Structure 1
Amino acid sequence: MDMFDPRTMVMDYDFPHEDGCDHGDFSFAFNNSKFSDRVLHIAIYSEPMDSTLSPSVIVEDMHISSPILAARSPFFYKLFTNGMKESEERDVTLRINASEKAAFMELLNFMYSNNLTFTTVTALLDVLVIADKFDVPSCVRYCGHLLRNLPMEPKSVLLYLDLPSTILTAEGLRSLTVAAKQFYAVHYKDITKYQDEIHRLPLESVEAIISSDDLKVATEDDVYVFVIKWARTHYPEREDHRIILMSRIAKFIRFPYMTHGMLTNLLTCNEFDPEFAQEVVTEAISFNAEVPRRQHEYEQGFVKRAYKYQPVKMVKFEQPYPYHVVYVDLKRDVCASLFPLGHVCSEAFNVGGKGFYLSFQCSETVKTLQERSFRILLGTMEKVSISFAVDYEFAVLSKPNEKFVKKCHGSYIFEVKKTRYANSFFVTSWKLFIGKDSVYFIDDVFHLSDKLNVRELDNKELNGI
């Protein structure tokens, strides 16, 4: 007698019976010959440890009611009504793997009783997979209902995301999939802290983590470096990890928020197709060149993450002399978190061969320790070995005209072995800066423009040192 394997059956018909309604409790008829019209022979295949041996087969018999099974499953409906000789015979044989036996028996029990006895995540997921395989949608939904009420843990979430895509997108399971991804995004929010653990996770889990807007990283460079290392680990062949990076992972990298140095690295990186690298770098540079800074967080797809170091955008001009304009945006909640004596720094940027960063601080005023002020300082990334001058011009986007307004300008000399901080370029009362009626926040974002030029000292400046 021929055996039916559910994976070989094609469902190309309309099945009218599965309406999602309760079909009643027929548990009394389960494996009961008095209420059954057929015998199901379950051929259970066990793969031997020795590959030279043939699989062992154990056949177990079950008394089944074809109307009950057909009412719950398009697979069994097709099996009993396909017009072939086997569909008219009393005995029917199905093939399953030994690892599927417990879940399959639980599925048969559900088709009679509308209930499951399994209660653990692992066991319910096994039933879920077998219910999808034998096309029992009511059981798929019921498993999803039970799983949503169980606590999520890293190991169980990993099992959720490892399910076949047909199950993950099924009705009643979409919310579970979303919840699983959110769990990963929150649990592994700090990829630096959990880097070794995350490196062992599969693709679906990594996608859920790096797609989060709340990812805790110093800069977007950290995400870029992490995914390349992960891809090399899981897909050793260059062509394989290049395909994975470009087709699955790259869409989650916020390229416009990467530093200029790392974008340059991307152009010569063998992990990406050269044309793809050129395209995303050009797009990032184009975004960085847009002024004034009133974009919609990169057109919905590239929201700025909660970076430890605030991203900068930099534009270089050659006329009337070489200079750079550095742009930084700070959200109101980031600024508010600086009170009473906090600070946050921008990511590093290069001007005239020198590395700099900006520091935004809430500090005590000079006149009275009871008052606070908001100030911006310019710092160098390394000790000064040769004195040099920086010409600066700070401007902020402010109300009511919402245009950049110059706040200060001048020159500052970074001397050898002196402090790596320049004087405060911008200082204002904390209350005036952060208050509800502040002129410095446009849509709850503080926009700063910093025009910088690095040059050698002239004779007058040299004599003044």
Structure 2
Amino acid sequence: MNIPRAGIEAILSSNDLQVASEDTIYDFLLRWARAQYPKSEERREVLSSRLLPLVRFSHMTCRKLRKVLACTDIDHEQATKCVTEALLFKADAPHRQRALAADAITCRKFAERAYKYRPLKVVEFDRPYPQCIAYLDLKRDECSRLFPAGRIYSQAFHLAGQGFFLSAHCNMEQQSAFYCFGLFLGMQEKGSTSVTVDYEFAARTRPSGEFVSKYKGNYTFTGGKAVGYRNLFAIPWQKFLADDSLFFVDGMLHLRAELTIKQP
């Protein structure tokens, strides 16, 4: 907590900063500001004018954005503006998101850092059943770097009070002995709690650009457990990554996981 403000500003201006998630950066800045500026008025001023502009709210989880709105250390009008802008970005078309992230003026707001946990788009429903739809987008080069045994984990998302995550893998197909792309859904919390989930994995495909269902099922999760498919597309790794692959649309792999809890 003894890092000077100028040092923090320099570090957080970087796109290459390796960090678990943007939520982590926000939490760190709040703790640092509270430790360095005991007086609330001075703390609010420093956060408002110097530190919050360094936070990329567009890559924070919706769960954390709700906490931003309730934070008394942040001017409510500024918090509302930041959260609204972030939600609009999340709802925007992928090509618009890429344009904003690449623009010299807006890139510091919208460019992704080197996150350990990949940001998701999540849509939640309460009726007729608790349901959420999570979208995970991966670049072709990110997928390529998974070979031969790499993994990419998503940020956590929540359904009916339980935390879940997605993980993309490069696997060895056990029966045919070739490498392939796998997708898994895990439950975050460890413990005795169990929940039964209907799930479906889908991917956007060419030439239609529509999402096509790949697998669906029903699974009873307990903390730390996961379910998924070692070969999501039923093809070898080389064919999955080939130039004529059906699963990369403008250089991006678009994955969707739909979760529903139908039990009371």
TM-score (norm 2): 0.86
Distance 1:313 1:350, change over 3 A: same
Checking the alignment, whether the CA contact within 8 Å between 1:408 and 1:426 is kept in structure 2 is: no
Counterpart-to-counterpart distance in 1, 2:48 and 2:250: 34
Amino acid at match of 2:213: K
SS at match of 1:243: helix
Residue 273 of structure 1: how far off its partner (Å): 0.8
Residues 107-163 of structure 1, C-alpha deviation per residue, up to 9 Å, x if partnerless? xxxxxxxxxxxxxxxxxxxxxxxxxxxxxxxxxxxxxxxxxxxxxxxxxxxxxxxxx
Counterpart-to-counterpart distance in 2, 1:200 and 1:340: 41
Residue 213 of structure 1: how far off its partner (Å): 0.9
SS at match of 2:239: helix
Checking the alignment, whether the CA contact within 8 Å between 2:203 and 2:256 is kept in structure 1 is: yes
Residue 426 of structure 1: how far off its partner (Å): 6.1
Counterpart-to-counterpart distance in 2, 1:286 and 1:317: 18
Match of 1:348 among 156, 173, 182: 156
Matched, 1:224 2:26: yes
Q: Which runs of 5+ in 2 are unaligned?
A: none
Amino acid at match of 2:240: F
SS at match of 2:44: helix
Distance 1:313 1:240, change over 3 A: same
Counterpart in the other structure of 2:175: 367
Counterpart in the other structure of 1:422: 227
Residues 237-291 of structure 1, C-alpha deviation per residue, up to 9 Å, x if partnerless? 221121111112212211121122321221221220112212222222333344x
Matched, 1:412 2:218: yes
Checking the alignment, whether the CA contact within 8 Å between 2:187 and 2:222 is kept in structure 1 is: no
Counterpart in the other structure of 1:394: 201
SS at match of 2:254: strand
Checking the alignment, whether the CA contact within 8 Å between 1:363 and 1:373 is kept in structure 2 is: yes
Residues 376-419 of structure 1, C-alpha deviation per residue, up to 9 Å, x if partnerless? 0101112363543212222222222323222222x3221558x7
Counterpart-to-counterpart distance in 2, 1:404 and 1:416: 29
Matched, 1:379 2:193: no
Checking the alignment, whether the CA contact within 8 Å between 2:197 and 2:221 is kept in structure 1 is: no
* Larger proportion of strand: 2
Checking the alignment, whether the CA contact within 8 Å between 1:348 and 1:357 is kept in structure 2 is: yes
SS at match of 1:455: coil
Distance 1:283 1:395, change over 3 A: same
Residue 435 of structure 1: how far off its partner (Å): 2.1
Match of 1:281 among 80, 83, 99: 83
Q: Within 5 A, what are the aligned runs for 1:100-115?
A: none
Deviation larger for 233-242 or 271-280: 233-242
Q: Which structure ranks higher in relative contact order (CA pairs < 8 Å, sequence separation ≥ 6)?
A: 2
Identity of aligned residues (%): 39
Q: Within 5 A, what are the aligned runs for 1:66-145?
A: none
Distance 1:220 1:298, change over 3 A: farther
Amino acid at match of 2:157: F
Residue 214 of structure 1: how far off its partner (Å): 0.8
Distance 1:256 1:416, change over 3 A: closer
SS at match of 2:123: strand
TM-score (norm 1): 0.51
SS at match of 1:205: helix
Matched, 1:339 2:147: yes
SS at match of 1:297: helix
Match of 1:241 among 26, 32, 43: 43
Counterpart in the other structure of 1:438: 245
Residues 424-452 of structure 1, C-alpha deviation per residue, up to 9 Å, x if partnerless? 28613211222222222233221112221
Checking the alignment, whether the CA contact within 8 Å between 1:256 and 1:284 is kept in structure 2 is: yes
SS at match of 2:115: coil
Distance 1:259 1:266, change over 3 A: same
Number of aligned residues: 255
RMSD: 2.4
Asked which structure has the greater CA Rg, the reply is 1
Match of 2:96 among 278, 295, 304: 295
Q: Within 5 A, what are the aligned runs for 1:176-325?
A: 199-290=1-92, 293-297=94-98, 299-300=100-101, 301=106, 302-318=110-126, 321-325=129-133
Counterpart in the other structure of 1:358: 166
SS at match of 2:261: strand
Residues 12-45 of structure 1, C-alpha deviation per residue, up to 9 Å, x if partnerless? xxxxxxxxxxxxxxxxxxxxxxxxxxxxxxxxxx
Counterpart-to-counterpart distance in 2, 1:387 and 1:281: 33
